[in-house]
Amino acid sequence: MSSVLIYRFEDFVLDSGRRELRRDGALVPVEPQVFDLLAFLIEARDRVVSRDDLLEAVWHGRIVSEATISSRVNAARAAIGDSGAEQRLVRTLPRKGVRFVGAVQAVTEPESRLTPGMPEPQAADLDGPSIAVLAFDNMSGDPEQDYFADGLAEEIITALSRCSGLLVIARNSSFIYKGRPVDIRQVGRELGVRYVLEGSVRRSGDRLRITGQLIDAVGGAHLWADRFDGDLNEIFELQDRISETVAAAIEPTLHFAEIRRHKNRPPDTLDAYDLLLRAYALQEEFTAESMEAALDSLRRALALDPNYASAMAAAAYCHAQRHFQGWVSPDGAHRAEGLRLAWKAIELAPDNAQVLWKAAFAIWNLAQEDREAAVELFRRSLAINPNSPTALTLAGWIETMRGNQTSGREMIARARRLNPRDPRGWLLSGATAISAVIDGNYVDAITWANAALVQNRRFAIALRVLAVALVKLGRRDEAAQAVQRLRAIEPELTISAFFERIPVPLEEMARTYAEALRAAGLPE
């Protein structure tokens, strides 16, 4: 007769049959993935478990980040009353792995005692979004178009795989559903993903129409949909354009979907990933108070997982945002903290595109002596993921500030083309406004600055551009109003304080700003 094991240690009982963890008879809430990791560590308690062992046993061979593994190990510790500082039960051995070191009693009981009809465990809840791209349906009635539909889905898988923190199921797994009617919820359970992208290809003469939709595989909600048209004679260019655009649109869509999904979790159940998402949501509010609250969430995340590179990079980026807004203390302590976190994040995650561009932006703003390092980090980030609209926007912004307007404008234009509905479009409009000021095109500068302020009325960079451009066009009363709005955001703002804090490497641009802001009424 088959059997299940029950493990007893300290005042905990782990029941592998019921998939339950109990303490003093009370059920301890544990996510399925954390349960699997904890059960595996206990079963393998006589040996050190390596990273590869964990990937195979818990993630079934899928590659996940070190931050994800570390977060899940810490969550397993927390579930049994342990911590990364104490390591009484789960011990980390540097460069070797982890080992369960607690005293355990194993009890075998018949499997028949399991509750009949008990539901199957849900798919693992990964630290970060997970997605499967299904084979696109060929709606043309032409079997020869199968190669295009399959190739398009493969290109999208490749493009999405470059998005940092996004787990993408391999083609061999997601294509098993090709030609079959599927229930998206079942696909999500079977592949262990939260999101599914499906689509279709339809041909009419020499024209192709491609549609795609992103679905929450747990709730069934449609999160994103779009369609694309093109000619058969540009079929490979069409594949490239669609795959890039889909990847660029889906990355921020999943980002905000994850924020919404974790928003209402009880405070006492938050792990490092939950706290990172809460910080992201607070950053989007873009106030001095929300930025400080975001940093508090990130500090708590790093207390749970001291090597969480994504949280470090997010904190460094938050410091940079506070820096250009003027929401910092006069002692400049944020500079040292932001730079420390940025460089440590780069060291821990040198191949994470999102970590690299966030750290690069922090270094550009906080360390004038390291500007060239920031430029190189942007290049590395875009080499890994060339389809990130935010990375393209910020890199283009920096290039224009360095005097390389042509390459900067090309990056900004590509970001706009990839995701014209980017929820962070105010950043893109602000970067375009700066480029216009550098070119001396003050009419366009006003247009783009106002476009940015419609989306984010507290965006100090857009207000500075607006004030400068209005002065240059002789509209000083309006410029004075823009400066008043600036000083409402940063009451102690002066011309000297601005140039002490903000890097303006182009001498002509610095002169233009100083003269115009002075004319608009900003004190020396």
Tens of pLDDT, residues 270-299: 788 889 999 999 999 999 999 999 999 999
Task: Specify whether the CB–CB gap between 127 and 62 falls below 8 A.
Answer: no
DSSP notation for 192-203: T-SEEEEEEEEE
Phi, psi torsion values for 422, nearest 5 degrees: -60, 125
Q: Which residue has the higher pLDDT, 150 or 338?
A: 338
The helix or strand, by DSSP H or E, that contains position 229, with its residue range, turns out to be strand 222-231
For the chain, give every residue range classified as CATH 1.10.10.10.
3-113
| Gap between the Cα atoms of 19 and 25, Å rounded | 14
Q: Which residue has the higher pLDDT, 67 or 390?
A: 390
Give 365-375 pLDDT, tens digit per residue. Answer: 998 888 899 99
Query: Three-class SS of residue 130?
Result: strand
Query: Three-class SS of residue 302?
Result: helix
CATH code of the domain made up of 130-250: 3.40.50.10610
Which range among 151-165, 289-303, 407-421 has the greatest average pLDDT? 289-303
| Gap between the Cα atoms of 275 and 145, Å rounded | 46
Q: What percent of the chain has pLDDT over 90?
A: 41
Cβ of 163: how many Cβ atoms within 10 Å? 24
6-20, 159-173, 395-409: least confident range: 6-20
- pLDDT of 166 > 90? The answer is no
- What is the band of 108 on the pLDDT scale with cuts at 50, 70, 90? low
Which range among 50-59, 112-121, 244-253, 454-463 has the greatest average pLDDT? 454-463
| Gap between the Cα atoms of 64 and 82, Å rounded | 24
CATH code of the domain made up of 3-113: 1.10.10.10
- What is the band of 119 on the pLDDT scale with cuts at 50, 70, 90? very low
Burial of residue 482 (CB within 10 Å: 0-12, 13-18, 19+) is: buried
Q: Is the whole-model pTM more than 0.75?
A: no
Q: Can you tell me which residue has the tokens 């410091």?
A: 319
| Gap between the Cα atoms of 398 and 427, Å rounded | 12
- pLDDT of 228 > 70? The answer is yes
DSSP notation for 237-255: HHHHHHHHHHHHHHHHHHH
Give 64-91 pLDDT, tens digit per residue. Answer: 777 778 888 888 898 898 888 889 899 9
For the chain, give every residue range classified as CATH 3.40.50.10610.
130-250
Of 514, 479, 465, 472, give the one whose Cα is nearest residue 494.
514
> 387-524 sits in which CATH class?
mainly alpha
Residue 267, pLDDT score: 65
CATH code of the domain made up of 263-368: 1.25.40.10
Q: Report the pLDDT averaged over residues 105-122.
A: 46
Cβ of 246: how many Cβ atoms within 10 Å? 26
* Alpha helices, DSSP H, located in 388-441: 389-401, 405-418, 425-439
Q: What percent of the chain has pLDDT over 70?
A: 93
Mean pLDDT rounded to a whole number for the chain:
86
Give 474-518 pLDDT, tens digit per residue. Answer: 999 999 999 999 999 988 889 888 888 887 888 888 899 999 999
Burial of residue 510 (CB within 10 Å: 0-12, 13-18, 19+) is: middle
- pLDDT of 124 > 60? The answer is no
Burial of residue 333 (CB within 10 Å: 0-12, 13-18, 19+) is: exposed
Q: Which residue has the higher pLDDT, 508 or 205?
A: 508
Cβ of 155: how many Cβ atoms within 10 Å? 20
For the chain, give every residue range classified as CATH 1.25.40.10.
263-368, 387-524
Residue 485, pLDDT score: 94
| Gap between the Cα atoms of 474 and 472, Å rounded | 6
| Gap between the Cα atoms of 365 and 277, Å rounded | 24
Query: Three-class SS of residue 13?
Result: strand
- What is the band of 459 on the pLDDT scale with cuts at 50, 70, 90? very high
